[in-house]
Structure 1
Amino acid sequence: MGDRRHGDSHIDLSKANPARVMQGIAEHIVPPHMRGDDWDARWQAMADYCEQPAEITTPT
């Protein structure tokens, strides 16, 4: 039986690309006629950026 809080269609967002999650939300908020011609290219660039390894530095 699935978790009632999430149902059986629960998605593990901890493994999702943050840009793709934001794009999905934005597509529900921003009407198609208000999106720029470069809408898809901008989201793809952000998704590519989010997939780059992070370098964490500690101040000395």
Structure 2
Amino acid sequence: MEENLTNSKKIDEAITTQILKALKGIQYGYVQITIQDSKVVQIDKTEKFRLDGLKSSKPKGCDNG
């Protein structure tokens, strides 16, 4: 029984490590954790890059409307 607890703790630590790794360095975006039957089965990371500082290439006064 104690061996199961040890294995479970190792799995929990590995999952925590993977979640922290996914979060590390993200400035904009999200980390999604999928759980099935009370167990983490998938970790998705989507990182977004803000382009607010870039100027539009469209010339001034040009309007498509």
Relative to the length of structure 1, the TM-score reads: 0.28
Higher strand share: 2
Relative to the length of structure 2, the TM-score reads: 0.27
Higher helix share: 1
Which protein shows a greater Rg? 2
